[in-house]
Amino acid sequence: MIDWQIGYLWPGGSKACYFWNLTKNSCMMAFKEKSGMDPKKLGEKYDKIAVWWHHQHVDSQYGVQQVSRALKFCRSGGEALDVGCGAGGRFIRLLHENGFAVTGLDVSAEMIRLARQNHPDAVFHHADICEWQTSQTFDFIFAWDSIFHLPLNQQKPVITRLCQLLAPGGVLAYTFGDAVGEHTDRWHDDTFHYSSIGISANLAVIAEQGLTCRHLELDQWPQKHVFLIACRD
């Protein structure tokens, strides 16, 4: 059974909150700006705001309720992968409290430096999920407000790869935009690029990979921010 919900609008602002309330004209302009969706450049942008981001979110409750919901579908403990881990903080603490060993991945070198400082008992990689290779599988994989930074043509391959990295019985939880295409937005005096293949295509990818969607909600309504939980049964 799929649990469909329309949730709340988080008022504090995040890198998700501003980005899916688009006009038709801004969408059309954004489709022409694909060259900006470069993971290296993205990492450099987040390097500049890493310390601010950490202080803003280290003790925030943003997303904790959703990730806690996803963890209820997991068996006790195991290996967890945090895609776009940032500087760590609330999510990694939550995973450790639930008995998980954590591997974190981020394109920002400064975010990874802070994460290693904050969580010396976790493993972190300064890497692009589009290219990162591992033979390890994970019991819990989540990507909170990160994969919507991928180029549009990398959305399906990366979601497919995350599904393939799940161990039997594993749980995948991630956020994305309820919109199709690419766009840009201004944030912290810089231009950030976003993309999504939309709800239907995300559901199709996880189904193709043998996962079952257990929960999907627009958790920051009326913003088009989607949270999805899928399980490999």
Displacement of CA 30 from its chain's centroid (Å): 21
* DSSP states along 101-168: EEEEEES-HHHHHHHHHH-TTSEEEE--TTT---S--EEEEEESS-GGGS-HHHHHHHHHHHHHTEEE
> Cα 19 to chain center, whole Å?
14
Q: Is residue 115 part of a domain?
A: yes
The phi, psi pair for 60, rounded to 5°, reads: -70, 155
When pLDDT is averaged across residues 54-75 and rounded to a whole number, the result is 91
- Specify the CATH number for the domain of residue 146: 3.40.50.150
Is the model's pLDDT at 12 over the cut of 50?
Answer: no
32 within domain boundaries: no
What pLDDT is attached to residue 36?
Answer: 53
Count of CB atoms situated within 10 Å of the CB of 8: 12
Residue 14 has pLDDT above 90, yes or no: no
The predicted model scores a pTM of 0.83
Mean pLDDT value across residues 180-197: 85
Domains of the chain: total: 1
pLDDT (mean) for 96-103: 97
In a domain, 105, yes or no: yes
* Residue 141 belongs to domain spanning: 3-19+39-182+208-231
Does pLDDT of 155 surpass 60? Answer: yes
**Is 97 a member of any domain?**
yes
Q: Is 202 within the bounds of a domain?
A: no
Residue 33 belongs to some domain of the structure: no
C-alpha triplet 146, 15, 93: angle, nearest 5°: 65
| Average pLDDT, integer, range 23-46 | 56
State the pairing for strand pair 225-231/212-218: antiparallel
Q: Which residues pair with 229 in a beta bridge?
A: 173, 215
- 120 domain-assigned: yes
pLDDT above 70 coverage of the chain, percent? 84
Confidence check: pLDDT of 187 > 60:
yes
